[in-house]
């Protein structure tokens, strides 16, 4: 008996024992049985009839057509990822209470924080802090240089790209310019932490890290000199001295054949360019020329 006739007799429940064994031996016998079992799960109407072979064949062809399996976990994870990303973007751009204060060249400004702590920003510097959560987390992100007079209270963090300064209430200065990181303590105690060092500074201590070379020394100043419009340097590379001169006067300096990695100790004032240039050029044996459009040339004396 061929395949078609066997299935027709099975549908009509007319198989003898031999034919029944032959049907059960068919490769798709379990698949055919499942179709009928699934149909029996539904309540039949009074007019229900056993399917004919042609109807059954149609059902087989329908059920055996390729079906794409859907993995619901993957799309759900994608949806969840999009929601998380949306929430993150929302809080960063729409619900973020970070206050940002920045200064331009030549500019200095004073910021009073929610706890009445005071921050004085040097030229071309930037701070960010969360005003609404300040009572729970006193934390400032700093780029550049700033002097801090911190009101007593909970832990106060100043975070830079090189290191973090932690205090409870004190006066200190933090400078982060390129590879130069300096912390000077004027009152109380501060903790300075970098990727490879942790130091506790007391009144009169100064921490410096230049190209990751760490030094701690003493000072006797009551406050940073730059607040009084003077930049002071103690064995600082000339390239940083030139950069500070550019920040304080809003000029571009062209240096010719100068060893800008040599160390400089000295100072310059912020309100007289000629005087400032003399304060730098004479100790280093340089000539200077003030050009048009806020440009200055420095070169070696001959």
pLDDT at 183: 98
What ranges do the domains of the chain cover? 3-63, 98-226, 229-300
pLDDT at 292: 80
Residue 16: φ, ψ to 5°: -85, -175
CB atoms within 10 A of CB 230: 16
Residue 158: φ, ψ to 5°: -115, 115
- 60 contacts: CB under 8 Å, gap ≥ 6: 28, 31, 32, 35
Residue 30 DSSP one-character state: H
Q: Which fold has domain 98-226?
A: Jelly Rolls (2.60.120)
DSSP helix/strand/coil, 266: strand
Tell me the helix, strand and coil percentages in the chain, rounded to 5. 30, 35, 35
Residue 222 to residue 231: CA distance in whole angstroms: 15
Taking 70 as the pLDDT cut, the residues of the chain under it are 1-6, 10, 18, 23, 26-96, 302
Residue 17: φ, ψ to 5°: -60, -45
Same fold, 98-226 and 229-300: no
pLDDT digit string, tens, across residues 13-31: 777 776 777 767 766 666 6
pLDDT digit string, tens, across residues 85-117: 443 443 444 446 799 999 999 999 999 999 999
Sign, Cα dihedral of 130, 131, 136, 141: positive
CATH 3.55.50.30 fits 229-300, yes or no: yes
pLDDT at 92: 43
Among candidate residues 41, 25, 38, the one with its CA nearest the CA of residue 7: 25
Q: Which uninterrupted H or E stretch holds 264?
A: strand 263-269
pLDDT at 3: 59
Residue 60 to residue 274: CA distance in whole angstroms: 97
Among candidate residues 173, 180, 300, the one with its CA nearest the CA of residue 240: 180
């Amino acid at each position: 008996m061929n395949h078609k006739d066997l299935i027709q007799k099975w549908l009509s429940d007319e198989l003898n024992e031999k034919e029944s064994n032959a049907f059960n031996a068919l490769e798709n016998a379990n698949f055919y049985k499942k179709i009928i079992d699934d149909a029996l799960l539904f309540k039949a109407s009074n007019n229900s009839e056993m399917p004919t072979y042609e109807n059954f064949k149609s059902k087989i062809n329908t059920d055996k057509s390729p079906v794409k399996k859907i993995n619901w976990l993957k799309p759900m994870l994608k949806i969840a990822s999009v929601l998380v990303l949306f929430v993150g973007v929302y809080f960063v751009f729409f619900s973020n209470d970070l206050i940002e204060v920045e200064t331009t060249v030549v500019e200095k400004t004073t910021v009073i924080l929610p706890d009445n702590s005071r921050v004085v920003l040097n030229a071309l510097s930037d701070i960010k802090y969360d005003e609404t959560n300040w009572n729970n987390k006193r934390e400032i992100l700093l780029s550049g240089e700033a002097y801090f007079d911190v009101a007593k209270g909970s832990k106060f963090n100043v975070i830079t790209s090189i290191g973090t300064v932690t205090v409870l209430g004190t006066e200190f200065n933090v400078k982060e310019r390129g590879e130069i990181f300096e912390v000077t303590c004027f009152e109380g105690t501060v903790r300075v932490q970098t990727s490879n060092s942790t130091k506790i500074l007391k009144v009169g201590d100064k921490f410096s890290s230049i190209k990751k070379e760490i030094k701690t020394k003493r000072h006797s100043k009551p406050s940073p000199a730059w607040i009084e419009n003077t930049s002071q340097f103690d064995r600082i590379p000339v390239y940083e001295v030139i950069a500070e001169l550019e920040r304080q006067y809003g000029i571009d300096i062209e240096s010719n054949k100068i060893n800008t990695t040599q160390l400089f100790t000295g100072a310059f004032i912020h309100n007289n360019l000629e005087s400032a240039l003399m304060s730098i050029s004479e100790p280093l044996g340089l000539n200077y020329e003030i050009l048009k459009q806020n440009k200055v040339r420095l070169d070696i004396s001959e």
